[in-house]
């Protein structure tokens, strides 16, 4: 057989007119000191409502929290707070805000701005995914419940009334909102004795509270600006910030290193240095361009053409990822992640279309999980040989915590078929109309196809594939409009609860709708403990999760990044996928 010279597929694509076309398109975009590729359009730039990693990545450029977490060594650094004190019992934190902290409109960041942001996250009005993070604060859970009941009462009274007020915000709706604000001030343990002092009282011990405060949900918002964009719905009584505010560079005000300057939907986000940022002199660049390119081949073209200095998170399920590893490129960086790839099972008794849900039975969930050959997926599909996931929390990611690998599910098709039969589905009987939901253009289809084939082979169950774009996927996930769906979770702070709290009953990120009283009770017990005792309790909680299998864990992430270390300085990959882009400089070649 005649052999042809080896040539990488993207090298062929870079020839001819493809490069010309790409460059021509790029000329219409702003030019930045540093640019990077992201694979998805943003769901929101609202810091209190976001939960997706690509949203959080940009949020920390636009907003700064009281303290920041350096993920290279997990140290706590001052942010807006220049100092802080903790009471002897660990229940009261007093933060002293720096005098030179300012918003991008030049006005000072004051303690009440933090209260305004945190209060939004505590209110059911905005339906923040991370609302429960706030429940560590004294009175926060009670306030959330109060507002929930208040809104329900408002709707009930309004519907039973013979006359209804008109307008965008009736006097009744405004009065209800003002009552909630008064109740918050009277019951929640956050206060501002003066503009530069924020006092926080906790509901109980929380050894990782500073790590929590560094997360974007705890970002401040400019109270007077937000009030100007607040809309109170006359029908529901809910008070929400106009969604258009968060996408409008002319209106959005932040306090981070950068400010939003331009945004083109599904194309790019352009940020320039915030001239009022307190540490502006230490920043290594004056502008950042985020290119939004969902298709891996197109992203590779843009990177190879020099249109981007960094490609964050090359899709690990794509054929491109395996090819890059094989190439052994000096600009390829591989990092073990504090994140897990898995499949969610909908655990609600009824599906959205009213059908009975077979996955309400944990035996069915375990059977489907046992019928997945994870080793084959990482060796033959992703071809990256990621560590297969026996546990939800990646081993070694959190100091002092040992995930209960002995309780994890392994590939066992015989036991899987036995469990299905016990659950009333011998040889897959009665398991019709199943589908796998996934978001497109990130390599997920290859994994879904492999798992579909495994379930058909080992369980005699036919499964269809549903690939949708990421915003549709996100909405369906939150509405639990799926039977099985691909999912992943990256830790937000270095504590086991960053993973386990997601699966609490009713948590905003519990997309499975799973509920287990034993699991909830163990997490509640851990809140009163510390040290090794607390870690053992959390390990027991994860063991309950693994026994019940609300999700089929597949593999622990190993992220791939592309950047040339000879050109791009100040980038440091880490297990948490958190970056300090203000420290990045790029040495451009001159012609």
Distance CA 323, CA 302 (A): 17
Q: Is 16 left (phi over 0), alpha (psi -120 to 50) or beta?
A: left
Distance CA 114, CA 314 (A): 35
pLDDT at residue number 169: 53
pLDDT at 570 over 60: yes
pLDDT at residue number 321: 84
pLDDT at 21 over 90: no
CA-wise closest residue to 268 among 23, 17, 29: 29
pLDDT at 17 over 70: no
Would you state the structure tokens that stand for residue 332, as one six-digit string? 């390829």
- The mean pLDDT of the chain is 91
Q: Is the dihedral of CA 496, 43, 288, 315 positive or negative?
A: positive
The secondary element (H helix, E strand) that includes residue 211 is: helix 209-213
For the chain, what percent of residues have pLDDT higher than 70? Answer: 94
Distance CA 155, CA 144 (A): 17
pLDDT at 495 over 70: yes
The answer to whether 520 and 504 are in contact (CB under 8 A) is yes
pLDDT at 318 over 90: no
The three-state secondary structure class of 191 is: strand
CA-wise closest residue to 441 among 294, 241, 591: 294
pLDDT at 26 over 50: no
Q: At what angle do helices 517-526 and 531-548 cross, to 10 degrees?
A: 170
pLDDT at residue number 20: 33
Give the bridge partners for 585, in sequence order.
Answer: 569
Q: Where are the domains of the chain?
A: 66-245, 336-558
94-98, Cβ contacts within 8 angstroms, sequence gap of 24 or more: 94/197, 94/198, 94/199, 94/200, 95/66, 95/197, 95/198, 95/199, 95/200, 96/196, 96/197, 97/66, 97/195, 97/196, 97/197, 97/198, 98/196, 98/278
Buried/exposed code over 193-205 (b: 16+ C-beta within 10 A; e: otherwise): eeebebebebbee
- How does residue 176 score in pLDDT terms, banded at 50, 70 and 90? very high
Distance CA 309, CA 312 (A): 10
Over range 14-28, report the average pLDDT: 41
Compare 331 and 5 and report the one with higher pLDDT.
331
- How does residue 171 score in pLDDT terms, banded at 50, 70 and 90? confident
DSSP string of 76-141, one letter each residue: EEESSEEEEEE-TTS-EEEEEE-TT-B-TTSPBP-HHHHHHHHHHHHSTTTT-TTGGGGGGBTTHH
Give the bridge partners for 93, in sequence order.
Answer: 86, 200
- Taking residue 39's Cβ as centre, other Cβ atoms within 10 Å add up to 22
412: Cβ contacts below 8 Å, ≥ 6 apart: 370
Question: DSSP secondary-structure letter at 146?
Answer: H
pLDDT at residue number 72: 76
pLDDT at 590 over 80: no
Give 102-133 pLDDT, tens digit per residue: 999 999 999 999 999 999 999 999 989 899 99
Please tell me the pTM assigned to this model: 0.84
pLDDT at residue number 24: 36
Would you state the structure tokens that stand for residue 87, as one six-digit string? 């009471």
Over range 195-207, report the average pLDDT: 96
pLDDT at residue number 218: 98
Phi and psi at 190, nearest 5°, equal -130, 135
Lowest model confidence (mean pLDDT) among 4-18, 219-233, 420-434, 538-552: 4-18
Q: How many angstroms from the chain centroid is the CA of residue 530? A: 27
- How does residue 417 score in pLDDT terms, banded at 50, 70 and 90? very high
Over range 469-489, report the average pLDDT: 92
Over range 323-336, report the average pLDDT: 90
pLDDT at 192 over 80: yes
pLDDT at 162 over 70: no
- How does residue 226 score in pLDDT terms, banded at 50, 70 and 90? confident
- How does residue 2 score in pLDDT terms, banded at 50, 70 and 90? very low
Would you state the structure tokens that stand for residue 156, as one six-digit string? 């009930």
With respect to CATH, is domain 336-558 assigned 3.40.630.10?
A: no
362-366, Cβ contacts within 8 angstroms, sequence gap of 24 or more: 362/547, 362/548, 362/549, 363/419, 363/420, 363/422, 363/423, 364/419, 364/420, 364/423, 364/425, 364/431, 365/548, 365/549, 365/550, 365/552, 366/409, 366/416, 366/419, 366/549
For the chain, what percent of residues have pLDDT higher than 90? Answer: 77
Superfamily of domain 66-245: Dipeptide-binding Protein; Domain 1 (3.90.76.10)
Lowest model confidence (mean pLDDT) among 13-22, 193-202, 454-463, 556-565: 13-22
DSSP string of 238-269, one letter each residue: -EEE-GGGGG-TTT----SSEEEEEEETTTEE
CA-wise closest residue to 521 among 539, 543, 504: 504
- How does residue 71 score in pLDDT terms, banded at 50, 70 and 90? confident
CA-wise closest residue to 466 among 439, 433, 441: 439
Would you state the structure tokens that stand for residue 96, as one six-digit string? 């002293």
Q: Do the domains spanning 66-245 and 336-558 agree at the CATH topology level?
A: no
pLDDT at 211 over 60: yes
């Amino acid at each position: 057989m005649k052999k042809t010279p080896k040539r990488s597929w993207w090298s062929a694509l870079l020839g001819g007119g493809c490069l010309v076309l790409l460059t021509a398109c790029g000329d219409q975009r702003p030019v930045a000191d540093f640019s990077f590729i992201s694979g998805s359009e943003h769901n929101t730039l609202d810091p209190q409502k976001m939960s997706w990693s690509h949203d959080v990545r940009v949020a920390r450029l636009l907003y700064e929290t009281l303290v920041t977490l350096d993920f290279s060594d997990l140290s706590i650094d001052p942010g807006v707070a220049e100092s802080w004190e903790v009471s002897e019992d660990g229940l009261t934190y007093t933060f002293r805000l720096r005098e030179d902290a300012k918003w991008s409109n030049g006005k000072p960041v004051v303690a009440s701005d933090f209260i305004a942001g945190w209060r939004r996250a505590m209110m059911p009005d905005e339906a923040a995914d991370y609302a429960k993070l706030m429940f560590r604060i004294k009175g926060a859970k009670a306030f959330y419940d109060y507002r929930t009941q208040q809104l329900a009462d408002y709707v009930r009274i309004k519907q039973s009334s013979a006359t209804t007020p008109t307008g965008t915000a009736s006097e009744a709706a405004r009065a209800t909102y003002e009552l909630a604000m008064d109740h918050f001030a009277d019951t929640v343990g956050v206060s501002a004795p003066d503009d530069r002092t924020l006092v926080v009282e906790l509901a109980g011990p929380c050894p990782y509270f500073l790590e929590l405060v560094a997360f974007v949900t705890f970002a401040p918002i400019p109270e007077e600006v937000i009030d100007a964009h607040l809309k109170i719905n006359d029908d529901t009584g809910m008070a929400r910030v106009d969604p258009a505010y968060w996408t409008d560079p002319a209106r959005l005000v932040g306090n981070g290193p950068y400010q939003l300057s331009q945004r083109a939907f599904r194309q790019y986000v352009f940020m320039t240095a915030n001239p009022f940022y307190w540490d502006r002199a230490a920043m290594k660049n004056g502008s950042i361009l985020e290119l939004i390119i969902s298709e891996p081949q197109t992203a590779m073209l843009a990177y190879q053409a020099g249109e981007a200095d960094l490609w964050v998170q090359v899709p690990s399920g794509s054929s491109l990822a395996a090819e890059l590893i094989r190439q052994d490129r000096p600009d390829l960086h591989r990092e073990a992640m504090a994140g897990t790839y898995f499949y969610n099972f909908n655990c609600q008794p009824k599906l959205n279309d009213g059908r009975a849900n077979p996955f309400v039975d944990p035996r069915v969930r375990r059977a489907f999980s046992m019928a997945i050959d994870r080793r084959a997926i990482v060796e033959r599909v992703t071809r990256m040989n990621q560590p297969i996931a026996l546990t939800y929390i990646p081993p070694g990611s959190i100091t002092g915590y040992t995930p209960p690998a002995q309780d994890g599910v392994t590939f066992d098709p015989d036991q899987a078929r036995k469990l299905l039969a016990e659950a009333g589905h011998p040889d897959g009987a009665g398991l019709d109309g199943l589908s796998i939901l996934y978001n497109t253009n990130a390599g997920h289809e290859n994994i879904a196809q492999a798992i579909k084939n495994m379930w058909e082979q080992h369980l005699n169950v036919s499964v269809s594939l549903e690939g949708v774009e990421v915003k549709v996927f996100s909405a369906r996930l939150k509405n639990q409009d799926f039977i099985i769906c691909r999912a992943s979770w990256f830790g937000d702070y270095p504590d086991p609860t960053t993973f386990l709290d997601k699966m609490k009953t009713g948590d905003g990120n519990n997309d499975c709708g799973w509920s287990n009283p034993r699991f909830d009770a163990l997490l509640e017990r851990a809140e009163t403990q510390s040290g090794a005792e607390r870690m053992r309790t959390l390990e027991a909680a994860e063991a309950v999760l693994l026994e019940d299998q609300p999700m089929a864990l597949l593999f622990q992430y190993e992220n791939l990044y592309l950047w040339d270390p000879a050109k791009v300085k100040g980038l440091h990959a880490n297990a948490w996928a958190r970056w300090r882009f203000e420290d990045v400089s790029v040495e451009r070649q001159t012609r």
